[in-house]
Amino acid sequence: MSATAGQAQSERSLAERLGLKAGQVVQEIGYDDDVDEELRRSVEELTGNELVDEDYEDVVDIVLLWWREEDGDLFEGLTDAMIPLTGGGNIWLLTPKAGRDGHVEPSDIGEAAQTAGLSQTSSVSAAREWSGTRLVAPKVRK
Protein backbone atom coordinates (compact mmCIF):
# COMPACT_ATOMS: atom_id res chain seq x y z
CA MET A 1 0.00 0.00 0.00
CA SER A 2 1.35 3.41 -0.87
CA ALA A 3 1.76 6.11 1.77
CA THR A 4 -0.99 8.10 0.07
CA ALA A 5 -3.45 5.19 0.14
CA GLY A 6 -2.61 4.52 3.76
CA GLN A 7 -3.09 8.19 4.59
CA ALA A 8 -6.44 8.28 2.78
CA GLN A 9 -7.61 5.21 4.68
CA SER A 10 -6.47 6.79 7.95
CA GLU A 11 -8.35 10.01 7.15
CA ARG A 12 -11.51 8.12 6.28
CA SER A 13 -11.31 6.12 9.47
CA LEU A 14 -11.05 9.26 11.62
CA ALA A 15 -14.54 10.49 10.66
CA GLU A 16 -15.88 6.94 10.49
CA ARG A 17 -14.71 6.37 14.09
CA LEU A 18 -17.07 9.18 15.04
CA GLY A 19 -19.96 7.43 13.28
CA LEU A 20 -20.54 10.28 10.84
CA LYS A 21 -22.54 9.74 7.67
CA ALA A 22 -22.82 11.35 4.26
CA GLY A 23 -25.10 14.37 4.17
CA GLN A 24 -24.85 15.25 7.87
CA VAL A 25 -24.40 18.88 8.87
CA VAL A 26 -21.55 19.20 11.38
CA GLN A 27 -20.99 22.33 13.44
CA GLU A 28 -17.53 23.02 14.79
CA ILE A 29 -17.16 24.96 18.04
CA GLY A 30 -13.88 25.90 19.70
CA TYR A 31 -11.71 25.99 16.59
CA ASP A 32 -8.16 27.19 17.26
CA ASP A 33 -4.73 26.64 15.74
CA ASP A 34 -4.25 23.41 17.74
CA VAL A 35 -7.17 21.46 16.23
CA ASP A 36 -6.48 18.39 14.10
CA GLU A 37 -6.74 19.42 10.45
CA GLU A 38 -6.69 15.79 9.29
CA LEU A 39 -9.82 15.07 11.34
CA ARG A 40 -11.52 18.19 9.99
CA ARG A 41 -10.77 17.19 6.37
CA SER A 42 -11.95 13.67 7.05
CA VAL A 43 -15.28 14.94 8.40
CA GLU A 44 -15.84 17.16 5.36
CA GLU A 45 -14.94 14.36 2.94
CA LEU A 46 -17.21 11.80 4.60
CA THR A 47 -20.22 14.09 5.08
CA GLY A 48 -19.80 15.87 1.76
CA ASN A 49 -20.36 19.19 3.56
CA GLU A 50 -18.05 21.88 4.84
CA LEU A 51 -17.99 22.26 8.61
CA VAL A 52 -20.24 25.10 9.76
CA ASP A 53 -19.05 27.49 12.44
CA GLU A 54 -20.49 28.83 15.68
CA ASP A 55 -22.47 31.52 13.82
CA TYR A 56 -24.50 28.99 11.77
CA GLU A 57 -28.19 29.73 12.33
CA ASP A 58 -29.89 26.45 11.46
CA VAL A 59 -30.08 23.00 13.07
CA VAL A 60 -27.17 20.57 12.84
CA ASP A 61 -26.81 16.80 13.15
CA ILE A 62 -23.50 16.74 15.01
CA VAL A 63 -21.48 19.24 17.03
CA LEU A 64 -17.69 18.87 17.19
CA LEU A 65 -16.74 20.71 20.37
CA TRP A 66 -12.98 21.25 20.69
CA TRP A 67 -12.41 21.85 24.42
CA ARG A 68 -9.32 22.52 26.48
CA GLU A 69 -9.06 22.77 30.26
CA GLU A 70 -8.48 26.54 30.05
CA ASP A 71 -11.57 27.13 27.87
CA GLY A 72 -13.77 27.85 30.88
CA ASP A 73 -16.85 26.13 32.28
CA LEU A 74 -17.41 22.85 30.41
CA PHE A 75 -21.04 22.66 31.58
CA GLU A 76 -21.76 26.01 29.89
CA GLY A 77 -19.91 24.89 26.76
CA LEU A 78 -21.98 21.71 26.54
CA THR A 79 -25.23 23.56 27.23
CA ASP A 80 -24.49 26.02 24.42
CA ALA A 81 -23.50 23.18 22.07
CA MET A 82 -26.89 21.48 22.56
CA ILE A 83 -28.89 24.46 21.22
CA PRO A 84 -28.50 23.83 17.45
CA LEU A 85 -28.80 20.02 17.62
CA THR A 86 -31.63 18.20 15.87
CA GLY A 87 -33.47 15.47 17.75
CA GLY A 88 -31.16 12.47 17.73
CA GLY A 89 -28.07 14.62 17.19
CA ASN A 90 -25.03 14.33 19.38
CA ILE A 91 -21.97 16.18 20.57
CA TRP A 92 -18.46 14.92 20.04
CA LEU A 93 -16.43 16.51 22.81
CA LEU A 94 -12.82 16.64 21.59
CA THR A 95 -10.23 17.14 24.32
CA PRO A 96 -6.43 16.90 24.34
CA LYS A 97 -5.19 13.43 25.27
CA ALA A 98 -3.67 12.77 28.71
CA GLY A 99 -0.27 14.39 29.10
CA ARG A 100 -1.02 17.09 26.50
CA ASP A 101 -1.54 20.79 27.29
CA GLY A 102 -5.20 21.49 28.00
CA HIS A 103 -6.10 17.87 28.96
CA VAL A 104 -9.52 17.59 30.63
CA GLU A 105 -9.95 14.88 33.26
CA PRO A 106 -12.55 12.21 32.40
CA SER A 107 -14.23 12.80 35.78
CA ASP A 108 -14.71 16.49 34.84
CA ILE A 109 -16.25 15.47 31.51
CA GLY A 110 -18.59 12.99 33.20
CA GLU A 111 -19.70 15.52 35.82
CA ALA A 112 -20.31 18.34 33.31
CA ALA A 113 -22.14 16.02 30.91
CA GLN A 114 -24.41 14.64 33.62
CA THR A 115 -25.18 18.13 34.94
CA ALA A 116 -26.05 19.21 31.37
CA GLY A 117 -28.42 16.24 31.02
CA LEU A 118 -26.19 14.35 28.60
CA SER A 119 -25.13 10.71 28.61
CA GLN A 120 -21.64 9.60 27.67
CA THR A 121 -21.97 6.74 25.19
CA SER A 122 -18.45 6.14 23.91
CA SER A 123 -14.89 7.42 23.84
CA VAL A 124 -12.41 7.11 20.99
CA SER A 125 -8.98 8.22 19.95
CA ALA A 126 -10.29 10.87 17.57
CA ALA A 127 -6.90 12.04 16.28
CA ARG A 128 -3.24 11.84 17.18
CA GLU A 129 -3.48 14.51 19.92
CA TRP A 130 -7.23 14.43 20.66
CA SER A 131 -9.67 12.12 22.43
CA GLY A 132 -13.34 12.12 21.52
CA THR A 133 -16.25 11.59 23.88
CA ARG A 134 -19.71 11.06 22.37
CA LEU A 135 -22.46 12.76 24.35
CA VAL A 136 -26.18 12.39 23.69
CA ALA A 137 -29.34 13.73 25.25
CA PRO A 138 -31.47 10.97 26.76
CA LYS A 139 -34.42 9.90 24.65
CA VAL A 140 -37.74 11.14 25.98
CA ARG A 141 -40.24 8.33 26.53
CA LYS A 142 -43.78 8.98 25.39
pTM of the complete model: 0.88
pLDDT in tens, 78-114: 999 999 998 889 999 999 999 999 999 999 999 999 9
Q: In the 8-state DSSP scheme, what is residue 52?
A: B
- pLDDT, tens digit, 9 for 90 and up, residues 8-43: 444 446 899 899 999 999 999 999 999 999 999 999
Decide the pairing of beta strands 130-136 and 26-29: unpaired
Contacts of 79 (CB under 8 A, 6+ apart): 116
